Chain A
């Protein structure tokens, strides 16, 4: 934007007393705020010279009212000098290495040249001087005795055990020559005597506003409290000195002044009790205002509050596409978008004004004009190009959608608005994954863009369609999940057929108006044929289905006959699904979704998903997808075998236990007896579970394709084989056994001495006594098993809690360190300071999301 000034640089420096006095509007000397009428007391800490914070008053420095006065500094003249608590450590090395009497460095003139080596490094310089002056008893320049200076943090100096007051230090430092101070890093711009405060700046009142209710001041800011204290002590010290009070009283007050100044800068200084409010709460002073998560930097400067945003609960809807977002009418009417009237959109905007969609107009000469019933027609007639219309949101407007924690860039994406009835944001469940959202009460934000350039950015960079491939690994992350996968599986299964009426309904819903020829007997349409209608005509693709892998696991190899029988090889020829099913594999790299995203226009994917969900949900509601308890029953033979195996396991582990107790167990390489025992027991238990899993998988799998069995439509297995939800392991836990409970590194151990539970036999090492659960969910566990099972569950719960914390901090550190690295025009990566990190990004300049599996792009794919 033109006319906006840019800050080129800011220089950090320390204020000298002269500057403090110069920039001060008023000297503060009264420890008061307001009088009875609530009017600021002159020379009090709320003096009108410091700016105004109440309406109606005028600033005495600049003459502006509350809105325009930026606030001005004042100052306090301190009766006695005090140390700046944050810079005592900078003064310390100077005192250590100079003579108290003459102010010269404690080094013989012939050694001075060596000092240059340590110039500008005060700590090393002081160390060098102290080391070399150890042999000296007297100052080489004035022959005075060398005294030892020590610092009692934060502010008290001692010389040879005696207190060194700030005024003494000031005298001392003034004696030191400039050329010596230069060695310590001081110059005209920075003098050490500035660290001994004679004058204290008073921040403007706008920086520490009083809390008021209906024009009655109810509470003062913490900083004001601190300033009141400082002024009060300062004037008391002044009075006592004028009255000639005893030295001890003056010193006490002086220390008190020092204490208040110290806590004014940082109320968390080590060794100093924090200054407290009347209520006992520690005061928030300057350092506390800046630092930490709730400090100025992280709370107000890096994270800023915004306008034109809205927040609501999200709920799912398949009526919106993945790059759309359903928003409530109320939100659409409240958030506004600016649209400039041009010759291309003038009629559209006139329509908007007619429909009461425009809130007000901003004319070329920056005048606002509200639209009311009475002036509507007049405005429409007078509408001219160049006017800016502030209008309500309508379908098709772009917004930014966001969910916290915003862990990666796809947690903020652009959506097209679709105004819908209801009060929630409606999101397509397919686009949940990058936000990590679900619908159990999650809330999300939208932000309405306010300028043309931000709308352009959303359109070209932020839209959901541009983020289907994750930049983390270059694989699709916005993919069908759960219901869409199992529904797609159902739709494309070999034996799925639809009547003509059904097929017509389905195809019409996806915009296909020409009915293809029926491909099955009796005029039926196969699911594969229907599915092919949403594929692009020029697509050729083949890959192995998940079933293929399972058969390979069970049988060792997959024959052509198997492929035919189980329909497990996905193949598309010229946009026709020839064989195989739509399953989880479609979302893997190089498979269906990946290919569609990479090789077709960006908008095609959202259209594809929209049509896919139409078809899938129709198929699901026609064919049904329910589970029955019968699916979780095993044949008697298998049950007997499982029981037999568990019995055998207990016998075999008892033998291991015996060997362990006799110490005759052969050791595993590199492990001791206890460790070996643990390994042996765990291995035995997991081997049995693996064996049982395989048996159950085989039986359930054969059931699926055995027409004689009632359970041939085993939905649990279907969703597992299709990859939509659940694994065979879950089935095993339901009908097989749970197996060994593991906590952290192995079997549960910590409980009582020599036993896990008080009900176990003392000293027994048997399998069942250390958390082996032989029952399953179907049969139910014994109380003991259930208890031990919960130990494992609790550990998982703790781990998630801890790991979010740990990884959150890791992420903060990483992003703070790496955020300045930007790719330059020549594809090199440089820091903000211009240091080269990489000469070509990633050594080949390729973007991670465009390279297959992190390798170089496969140029020969087409």
Chain B
């Protein structure tokens, strides 16, 4: 019998006090609860890993296949359905749907307009996004022309932009820079600059960041429990943490590897559980968190996020048979031979292959009926009955 957790014992005590139970009654209650607790425990020997895999894999067909937008939703399209599940389970280096949910500190902004402006200020804006470089190869001049529509949409001050660009573009080949007027800036190159270099310079200039935070492509202001939150497309946790206006305690990114990089493996594990659970939950699929937790623990237990792929968890098993039976059979057998590996038949699939009982469930315990002892016992019983 396993003893009750302290918290439960405390709760029983409080409950008994409230109901003013006698000591004997309380003892009886503890007894009942202990029995129920032990009945509810997982059975040693259960292959809970496989059950977790079944629980996650079985409803896979019910997941939506592609990213879905719902009518009128203002949300940024976050990965949903099977694609997102596969992405998390793969433990890939980059996410296809990075997104953050940013909470604002209380009383920093008082109007919606200010919040909207702040949200826009987070967007990563590069020079190429707000205008265009027009080349004049004959005169070796390049002029930058602003895209007014875009500027209006992003709510940026034109003059400010121009000076910023003017300050930021400094290039060895440029001989003269004209002060910006309302529409653009002109750059003149040395007469003997190769045209190739001008092109190269323009490509480089287009990528110069002006405002915002790197990788944040889009921000949308939305509401959650009566509170304004900013949802972003693209994620940059380490930079967002430095923004003063944000409540960094609650702000959240769905990019697991970024969480791992910034907060470490325990946070990444938590993040995997949360992301997987939410993905299934948003598709109306109920999976107990214990199943997802065991998967997340397996992915993270070595201190690095490892994927459930042929190069990840399965590829690193010590049993050559276990590896060969999954994928790349020939490669694993050859490497086992080259390295002189030993198959110890500790796992499930290895024993299955050679036709031996597996070391899980009822195959893990040994119980044999001794016929001699049985006969003795039967005789004992019979004599007892006769005595009576």
Query: Contact residues of A with B, CB < 8 Å?
Result: 6-14, 86-87, 90, 185, 189-190, 266, 287, 290-292, 295, 297-298, 301-302, 304, 407-409, 453, 457, 461, 471-475, 667-670, 679, 682-683, 685-686, 740, 744-746, 799-800, 802-804, 806-808, 810-811, 813-827, 829, 831-838, 841-848, 850-851, 854, 857, 859-860, 862
Can you name the residue of chain B whose Cβ is closest to the Cβ of A286?
B330
CB pair A817 B45 closer than 8 Å:
no
* In the complex, chain B residues 276-293 whose Cβ is within 8 Å of any chain A Cβ: 286-291, 293
A802 is contacted by which of B65, B342, B344, B360 (Cβ under 8 Å)?
B65
CB pair A804 B61 closer than 8 Å:
yes
Known: A302-B353, A472-B58, A683-B71. A816 touches B326 (CB 8 A): yes
CB pair A189 B58 closer than 8 Å:
no
B40 is contacted by which of A669, A843, A850 (Cβ under 8 Å)?
A850
Contacts of B355 in A (CB 8 A): 304
CB pair B48 A822 closer than 8 Å:
yes
CB pair B49 A669 closer than 8 Å:
no
CB pair B301 A837 closer than 8 Å:
yes
Can you name the residue of chain A whose Cβ is closest to the Cβ of B344?
A9
In the docked arrangement, what's the CA distance between A843 and B5, Å? 12
Contacts of B319 in A (CB 8 A): 832
In the docked arrangement, what's the CA distance between A10 and B40, Å? 40
CB pair B295 A407 closer than 8 Å:
no
Contacts of B41 in A (CB 8 A): 827, 845-847
B53 is contacted by which of A802, A817, A822, A859 (Cβ under 8 Å)?
A817
CB pair A474 B288 closer than 8 Å:
yes
In the docked arrangement, what's the CA distance between A668 and B218, Å? 13
CB pair A679 B72 closer than 8 Å:
yes
Known: A291-B330, A471-B51, A803-B63. A846 touches B116 (CB 8 A): no
* In the complex, chain B residues 254-291 whose Cβ is within 8 Å of any chain A Cβ: 286-291
Known: A407-B57, A818-B298, A846-B41. 9 other contacts (CB 8 A): A297-B325, A304-B355, A474-B288, A669-B74, A806-B60, A818-B294, A832-B347, A834-B346, A843-B293
* In the complex, chain B residues 25-51 whose Cβ is within 8 Å of any chain A Cβ: 32-33, 36-37, 39-51
Known: A407-B54, A669-B116, A822-B359. A686 touches B71 (CB 8 A): yes
User: Interface code B205-244, partner A: CB below 8 Å = 1, 0 otherwise?
Assistant: 0000000000000111100000000000000000000000
CB pair A841 B42 closer than 8 Å:
yes
Counting chain B CB atoms within 10 Å of each CB, the highest count among A8, A685, A811 belongs to: A811
Known: A13-B337, A813-B314, A857-B37. A820 touches B347 (CB 8 A): yes
* In the complex, chain B residues 65-102 whose Cβ is within 8 Å of any chain A Cβ: 65-69, 71-74, 76, 82, 85-86, 89
Contacts of B67 in A (CB 8 A): 745
User: Interface code B361-385, partner A: CB below 8 Å = 1, 0 otherwise?
Assistant: 0101000000000000000000000
B201 within 8 A of A: no
CB pair A854 B289 closer than 8 Å:
yes
Known: A803-B65, A823-B44. A407 touches B72 (CB 8 A): no
Contacts of B89 in A (CB 8 A): 810, 813-814
Number of A-B pairs, beta carbon distance below 8 Å: 304
Can you name the residue of chain B whose Cβ is closest to the Cβ of A675?
B69
Contacts of A854 in B (CB 8 A): 288-290
Query: Contact residues of B with A, CB < 8 Å?
Result: 2, 5, 8, 12, 15, 32-33, 36-37, 39-61, 63-69, 71-74, 76, 82, 85-86, 89, 116, 119, 153, 218-221, 286-291, 293-295, 297-298, 301, 308-309, 312-314, 317-320, 322, 324-326, 328-330, 333-334, 336-350, 352-356, 359-360, 362, 364
Contacts of A800 in B (CB 8 A): 61
Known: A810-B82, A832-B348. A822 touches B340 (CB 8 A): no
CB pair B338 A90 closer than 8 Å:
yes
A821 is contacted by which of B15, B57, B86, B298 (Cβ under 8 Å)?
B298
In the docked arrangement, what's the CA distance between A827 and B33, Å? 19
Known: A8-B345, A806-B65. A857 touches B36 (CB 8 A): yes
A681 → B minimal CB distance (Å): 9
Known: A287-B330, A668-B74, A669-B220. A815 touches B53 (CB 8 A): yes
In the docked arrangement, what's the CA distance between A7 and B357, Å? 11
CB pair A841 B330 closer than 8 Å:
no
A298 → B minimal CB distance (Å): 7
B49 is contacted by which of A686, A821, A859 (Cβ under 8 Å)?
A821
CB pair A473 B48 closer than 8 Å:
no
CB pair A12 B47 closer than 8 Å:
no
Contacts of A295 in B (CB 8 A): 329
In the docked arrangement, what's the CA distance between A10 and B15, Å? 59
CB pair B40 A857 closer than 8 Å:
yes
CB pair A807 B51 closer than 8 Å:
no
CB pair B51 A409 closer than 8 Å:
yes
Subset of 28 A-B contacts with CB under 8 Å? A6-B356, A12-B340, A189-B340, A290-B324, A297-B353, A302-B352, A408-B58, A471-B51, A472-B59, A472-B286, A669-B116, A670-B76, A670-B218, A800-B61, A803-B82, A804-B61, A808-B60, A814-B89, A817-B298, A818-B52, A821-B298, A829-B48, A832-B348, A837-B298, A842-B293, A844-B5, A847-B42, A847-B43
In the docked arrangement, what's the CA distance between A12 and B334, Å? 9
B289 → A minimal CB distance (Å): 5
CB pair A806 B86 closer than 8 Å:
yes
Contacts of A685 in B (CB 8 A): 71
A277 → B minimal CB distance (Å): 21
B283 → A minimal CB distance (Å): 11
CB pair B45 A822 closer than 8 Å:
yes
Contacts of B72 in A (CB 8 A): 679, 682-683, 686
Contacts of B153 in A (CB 8 A): 667
B341 → A minimal CB distance (Å): 5
CB pair B337 A14 closer than 8 Å:
yes
Contacts of A453 in B (CB 8 A): 362
Contacts of B342 in A (CB 8 A): 9-12
A290 → B minimal CB distance (Å): 5
Contacts of B309 in A (CB 8 A): 813
Known: A820-B348, A822-B47, A845-B41. A473 touches B337 (CB 8 A): no
Contacts of A740 in B (CB 8 A): 71
Contacts of A686 in B (CB 8 A): 71-72
CB pair B53 A819 closer than 8 Å:
yes
Contacts of B219 in A (CB 8 A): 670
CB pair B346 A832 closer than 8 Å:
yes
Known: A90-B338, A745-B67, A816-B314. A850 touches B39 (CB 8 A): yes
Known: A819-B47, A846-B42. A301 touches B65 (CB 8 A): no
Can you name the residue of chain A whose Cβ is closest to the Cβ of B362?
A457
In the docked arrangement, what's the CA distance between A667 and B65, Å? 29
In the docked arrangement, what's the CA distance between A427 and B51, Å? 25
Can you name the residue of chain A whose Cβ is closest to the Cβ of B291?
A848
Contacts of A298 in B (CB 8 A): 325
A829 is contacted by which of B32, B49, B74, B348 (Cβ under 8 Å)?
B49
Can you name the residue of chain B whose Cβ is closest to the Cβ of A845?
B41
B42 is contacted by which of A87, A301, A408, A827 (Cβ under 8 Å)?
A827
Contacts of A9 in B (CB 8 A): 342-345
Contacts of B39 in A (CB 8 A): 850
In the docked arrangement, what's the CA distance between A583 and B133, Å? 68
Contacts of B220 in A (CB 8 A): 669-670
In the docked arrangement, what's the CA distance between A298 and B60, Å? 22
CB pair B50 A823 closer than 8 Å:
no
CB pair A859 B8 closer than 8 Å:
yes
Contacts of A823 in B (CB 8 A): 42-48
Contacts of A832 in B (CB 8 A): 317-319, 322, 346-348, 350, 359
A7 is contacted by which of B59, B286, B354 (Cβ under 8 Å)?
B354
In the docked arrangement, what's the CA distance between A301 and B326, Å? 12
CB pair A833 B317 closer than 8 Å:
yes
CB pair B287 A472 closer than 8 Å:
yes
In the docked arrangement, what's the CA distance between A86 and B339, Å? 14
Contacts of B2 in A (CB 8 A): 827, 845
In the docked arrangement, what's the CA distance between A408 and B46, Å? 14
